[in-house]
Amino acid sequence: MTGQNHAAASRVLYVAASADEAELAALVFGRHWPAVSLIAVNETPALLDALAGGPFLAAVLDAGAHWAGGSALIPMLRRDNAALPLLILRDARDCSAAHSPEPACQSTEKCPAVFLRLPALVRSLVETPGSPAQSSAALEPLLDDAGIGWFLANRDGRLLEANAAFRRLIAADGKAAATSLNLAELSAAPGSLSRLLEQAAASETGIEERLPLRALDGSPLFVSLRLRRQDAAGALLRGLVEDHTARENRIHELETRIVSLESDQAELQHLTHFASHELQEPLRTVERFTRLLIEQCREFLNGTTDQHARLIVESTERAQRLVDDLLLYSRALNVPVRLERVDANRALAQALANVQALIEETGADVRRGPLPDTLRGDPRGLATLFQNLVANALKYRSTQKPRVEISAEPQGGEWRFAVRDNGEGIAENDRDRIFRPFERLHSHDEIPGTGLGLALCRRIAQSHGGSLWVESQPGEGSTFYFTLPAMEAPHESPR
């Protein structure tokens, strides 16, 4: 008897007619299909030993093995596995076995050359014709070119075949190195691959999984693995492997950077909030005591010192406005907005009351269309939005009498508001940058401002899930639009 005690799923039984033929078959198998152990027997005790050793991938039965009962042995071979693939070598003169009624059974004429073809014949029995494994093998060069790994393994994980792409991926030096490998050695976590192999062997449709692996040189891999049964019993499994390591590394790198950026941003926001908050008190003190000093020392002040004192007050007031705006802006960045039912008419009324002095001073004509009373938003945020946009419309007026129109119209599940003015307008190149903090188109001496109003407005709109943008023609005025979510889906008014 010739043969080794390998894992059951990679064993093929050969019931030979003679010791010479058993030896010859084992020799050929060893050379052409080393991944499979041929258990070649030519006497009863060896046959019983082999049968006791567990299931086979396939069996080759020489019909002339009279010592074993010839084809009468078939029921015994198939006792545990009725679908065990069988190849019967029949005598050239025996026509009866040419078309065997047995399932998964082929017969071929026994001639001296048949031994050379034995591995190929058994393989064709095991691999269903046209099965994806065969196509995979045929497609091997294509899969290699595409960098897709392909392998065949038994359910215990022993690698039987692998294409070059798979060998490269796992850093196996050559074919021999790869086929002496058990896939379990590639597991990044103990048992992970063995579990998948078991699952795939039990599944009719196969499994697909993205998982980390470890190459033979220890380098980490991240792959997507598709595993399918090669035969009905799941003794053999074929796998397709795509390497996602580079992409996964990049994603990991980006995630780490995002986390670090988020933490930097949170720290920066905290610093801004803290600094502006802490600046409020000393600025108030400087302003109050400078005013007191001016009051108390009025008789000692001459034209120049009086002007100096007033400059201190003005600069302090300017710094206070900046700090106030910074605080509002950092609060809008830090504090999550609480959405409640808001009446836009009330928010606008509040905003107009706050800029009443400017409206009167400029003699502006402020018109308002019907606004929704069922918005989902933050009432203070909405009032701030209106207030800044209306104030800007008046601040950046042209030589004409200022006119501001506030309107709203439904759009899908939200409302689109418009604040239209007949002011100086904004050049196309400036329409984006004015929404960035501290970006101004005028010097402070021309028109005072902190450059934070529009940045704050955009932030408020965004924190409501909306957006803010401008359309404008220099010399003809600007329209600032913003969208806010409706409480219920608004009814589109017929146009």
Residue with tokens 């009446």: 343
Q: Write down the least CB distance from residue 423 to ligand ADP, Å.
A: 4
* Beta carbon nearer to ligand ADP, 377 or 449: 449
Q: Write down the least CB distance from residue 208 to ligand ADP, Å.
A: 53
* Beta carbon nearer to ligand ADP, 159 or 364: 364
* Beta carbon nearer to ligand ADP, 340 or 476: 476
Q: Write down the least CB distance from residue 478 to ligand ADP, Å.
A: 5
Q: Write down the least CB distance from residue 392 to ligand ADP, Å.
A: 3
Q: Write down the least CB distance from residue 190 to ligand ADP, Å.
A: 59
Q: Write down the least CB distance from residue 220 to ligand ADP, Å.
A: 49
Taking phi over 0 as left and psi of -120 to 50 as alpha, with beta for the rest, 59 belongs to: beta
Q: CB of 126 within 8 A of CB of 106?
A: no
* Beta carbon nearer to ligand ADP, 68 or 332: 332
Q: Write down the least CB distance from residue 450 to ligand ADP, Å.
A: 5
Residues that bind ligand ADP (CB under 6 A): 388, 392-393, 396, 421, 423-424, 426, 434, 440-442, 449-455, 478
* Beta carbon nearer to ligand ADP, 60 or 390: 390
Q: Write down the least CB distance from residue 290 to ligand ADP, Å.
A: 24
* Beta carbon nearer to ligand ADP, 85 or 453: 453
Q: Write down the least CB distance from residue 272 to ligand ADP, Å.
A: 17
CA distances from 477 to 97, 131, 385, 386, 392 (A): 98, 72, 19, 17, 12
* Beta carbon nearer to ligand ADP, 375 or 434: 434
* Beta carbon nearer to ligand ADP, 14 or 417: 417
* Beta carbon nearer to ligand ADP, 257 or 436: 436
Residue with tokens 């039990």: 202
